[in-house]
């Protein structure tokens, strides 16, 4: 196990370096010189040249990359030239919101997906199963921004049960905070549950055909116990991986959902940086998100190896 972890960790290093390089190159090679952005269109060439010199933009690109990487490794991701906030401050301020959103969404998706998957697997091939697999397939074609609009229309405009936009900090009003997360989390969950359900359903169907399940039935165990204890755990391996993998989808989804529901999370920070051309924040946020994503995948890999010994011994 230790050897496996070490090997995976070692593999992370080149990936993370390449990620930082790519982030830097996107920000540096593409048009839109930082000096022009800061000084505006009316800047004289002299001023631009002076600022470029101050910021080190006139140095060769690999030198700038190394300098930037050095700062990043020291924990200095730069500072917004618009708000004066450092990237780390901005991210730390927004992260809890995005995290809460993703967590609630994933929980909601699991709460919808797992019972449905079990119900479908028990009666696989039945009308209920076919209806649910069909609906799940249909739901996969509904992008987050569509379900967001539908939910807002239904619950905020027609029924007026929940707020369409707005955010209340958890410390001010825990209930109000949860209330404003209901629709955003549900939006993301609507896109997630079909994936989880399909995966768990098919794994569960094959598990239910195993001999030990027949054995448990023959012993006279309660069907609910067989399903929830004997069948669910061995069937949930792929579910764990898919849940982890989907975090990438979810991160993309949070950008849309946070923008639609006006939640002050990482996604809004990113969009705001794009619209105000705050390139340093943009670069920092993209790097943070990508690194977080890589680490998350690493953790999922580890978790998977813990659950399934075949992986860490390379038999998969």
Partner 1 sequence: MATLELIVSEEVVAGPLVRSRRLGLLFWMAIGWMLFVFAVAILAPVLPLPSPTDMDMLERRAPVSALHWLGTDGLGRDELARLIYGARISLTVGLFAPVIGLAIGGALGILAGYFRGRFETLVVGSMDVLLAFPPLILALAVTAYLGQSILNLTCILGVLGIPAFMRVARAATLTLARREFVIAAQALGATHARILVRELLPNVMLPLLAFFLLGVAVTIVVEGALSFLGLGVPPPISSWGSMIGEGRESLEIAPQLAFIPAMALFLTVLSFNLVGDTLKALTDPRQSAL
Q: What residues line the site for partner 1 (CB under 8 A)?
A: 14-15, 18-19, 22, 26-27, 30-32, 124-125, 129-130, 133, 137-138, 140-146, 149-150, 152-153, 157, 195, 198-199, 201-203, 205-206, 245-246, 248-249, 251-253, 255-256, 259-260, 270-271, 274, 277, 282, 286, 289-290, 293-294, 297
Question: Residue 204 and residue 208: Cα distance in Å, rounded?
Answer: 6
Closest CA to 202 of 118, 302, 141, 278: 118
**Min CB(307)–partner 1 separation in Å:** 18
Give helix 266-275 / helix 279-307 axis angle, nearest 10°.
Answer: 150
**Shortest reach from residue 313's CB to partner 1, in Å:** 21
- In the complex with partner 1, the residue whose CB is nearer, 81 or 170, is 81
- Return the number of the residue (82 or 277) whose C-beta is nearest partner 1: 277
Of the two residues 39 and 178, which places its CB atom closer to partner 1 in the complex?
39
Q: Which is nearer to partner 1, 178 or 271 (CB)?
A: 271
Q: Find the shortest distance in angstroms from Cβ 30 to partner 1.
A: 4
For residue 131, the Cα-to-chain-centroid distance in whole angstroms is 29
Query: Among residues 39 and 221, whose Cβ is nearest to partner 1?
Result: 39
- Shortest distance, position 108 Cβ to partner 1, whole Å: 19
State the nearest-atom distance from the C-beta of 23 to partner 1, in Å: 8
Q: Helix, strand, or coil here: 168? A: coil
What's the min distance (Å) between Cβ of 268 and partner 1? 11
Helices and strands, number each (H, E), in the chain: 15, 0
> Phi then psi for 79, rounded to 5 degrees?
-140, 135
User: For 27-49, what is the HEC assignment?
Assistant: HHHCCCCHHHHHHCCCCCHHHHH
- Partners of 79 in the β-ladder: 86
Nearer residue to partner 1 within complex by CB, 145 or 170: 145
Specify the residue for token string 């929980």.
107
Looking at the Cβ atoms of 37 and 221, the one nearer to partner 1 is 37
Q: Report how far apart, in Å, the C-alpha atoms of 178 and of each of 108, 228, 282, 293 are.
A: 13, 29, 29, 25
- Dihedral of CA atoms 170, 174, 175, 181 in degrees, nearest 10, equals 30
DSSP string for 132-157: HHHHHHHHTTS-HHHHHHHHIIIIII
Residues 185 and 108 sit within 8 Å (Cβ to Cβ): yes
Pick 255 or 263: Cβ nearer partner 1 = 255
Closest separation in Å from C-beta 309 to partner 1? 22
Question: Minimum CB separation from partner 1 for residue 299, in Å?
Answer: 14
Question: How far, in Å, CA of 168 to CA of 64, rounded?
Answer: 41
């Amino acid at each position: 196990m230790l050897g496996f972890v070490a090997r995976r960790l070692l593999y992370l290093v080149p990936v993370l370096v390449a990620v930082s390089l790519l982030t830097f190159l996107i920000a540096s090679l593409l048009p839109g010189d930082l000096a022009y952005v800061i000084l505006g269109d009316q800047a004289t060439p002299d001023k631009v040249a002076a600022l470029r010199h101050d910021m080190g933009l006139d140095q060769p690109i690999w030198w700038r990359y190394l300098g930037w990487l050095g700062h990043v490794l020291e924990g200095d991701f730069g500072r917004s030239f618009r708000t004066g906030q450092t990237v780390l401050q901005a991210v730390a301020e927004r992260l809890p919101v995005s995290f809460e959103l993703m967590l609630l969404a994933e929980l909601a998706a699991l709460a919808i997906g797992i019972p449905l998957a079990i119900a479908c697997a028990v009666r696989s091939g039945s009308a209920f199963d076919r209806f649910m697999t069909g609906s799940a397939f249909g739901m996969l074609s509904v992008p987050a921004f569509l379900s967001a609009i539908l939910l807002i229309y239904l619950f905020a405009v027609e029924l007026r049960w929940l707020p369409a936009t707005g955010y209340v900090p958890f410390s001010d009003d825990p209930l109000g905070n949860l209330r404003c997360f209901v629709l955003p989390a549900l939006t993301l969950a609507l896109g997630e549950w079909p994936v989880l359900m399909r995966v768990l359903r098919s794994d569960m169907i094959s598990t239910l055909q195993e001999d030990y399940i027949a054995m448990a039935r023959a012993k006279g165990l309660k069907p609910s116990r067989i399903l929830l204890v004997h069948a669910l755990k061995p069937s949930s391996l792929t579910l764990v991986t898919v849940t982890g993998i989907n975090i990438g989808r979810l991160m993309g989804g949070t950008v849309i959902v946070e923008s639609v529901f006006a939640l002050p999370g990482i996604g809004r920070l990113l969009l705001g940086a794009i619209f105000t051309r705050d390139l340093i924040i943009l670069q920092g946020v993209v790097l943070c998100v990508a690194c977080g994503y890589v680490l998350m995948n690493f953790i999922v890999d580890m978790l998977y190896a813990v659950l399934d010994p075949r992986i860490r011994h390379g038999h998969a």
